[in-house]
Amino acid sequence: EQHPDTANIYNNLGIGYDSKGDHEKALQMHEKALQIGLATLGDQHPDTATTYGCICLVYYSRGEYDKALANLEKALNIFQATLGEQHPRTAQAYHGMGVALRIVGEYGQALEMHGKALQIQLVALGDQHADTAETYNNMGLVYSKMGHYDKALEMHEQALQIQHAMLDEHHPQVAESLNNLGNVYDLRGEYDKAMAMHERALQIQLAVFGEGHPAVAMTYNNIGQAHCDRRDFHKALDVYTRAHQIQLVTLGEQHIDTLASATSIAVCERHLSRRT
């Protein structure tokens, strides 16, 4: 029981529970892993930092971003002390903090964290690496939240360029970048471009995942948003309903994404009822 390999097993179990939405059980597994790690490896070991990162992801899933950030800061401090500032895992910790800070609306701090991650990645991994592309994408999400749409497009296009060079053109990460571009075009009112990006993303995801996957549901929601912004509520309702049906099966009725789709359906139905 008191062995690092046992801690790894608990962490893997925790990741599995988290992916199924059982966040309480996931947290229990990671806490057991942490107890073993602290007892066998100490509080200044990269594996201990990794467990703090796993705990962070569960709190992230639960929407408890303050707790997520607190655990990420612990992981970051350990990585800095044991691996150094210029290590890719240190960059991952900065990256994670940037994501959490964006979600809580701290956009300036989020950009700072992603900027630190990017500086490390460009030196340690190079400018043609999947992790570097992911950081560009997340910087784009922050700029989009700030209303800096030209800068957001620049970041997402940079990510897509790297992914096209490094990955198969039908890779899910390519679809993610296309969706990000589509969302920015939608915010700019360029609905035809937005729809084109989302449709390309959808074709990739359908080929890779099939119809019944949460990523496909997310893209249907993006397409629904573009239709909704064009005031085409019939088409929006159709794709929102497809998204909701997938989420009910894959995520459950009470998942935040499922509830968001249900809200979008209700909004469309309300607009359509006013036309009759």
Q: What is the pLDDT of residues 81-98, one digit of tens each?
A: 999 999 999 999 999 999
Residue 1 has pLDDT above 80, yes or no: no
CB 44 within 8 A of CB 76: no
Q: What is the pLDDT of residues 215-257, one digit of tens each?
A: 999 999 999 999 999 999 999 999 999 999 999 998 888 888 8
Residue 26 pLDDT? 93
What does each C-alpha distance from 273 to 62, 80, 140, 209, 267 come to in angstroms? 35, 57, 37, 35, 10
140: which 2 tokens? 């784009």
Could you write out the three-class secondary structure of 36-86? HHHHHCCCCCHHHHHHHHHHHHHHHHHCCHHHHHHHHHHHHHHHHHHCCCC
What is the percent of the chain with per-residue pLDDT over 70, rounded to a whole number?
100
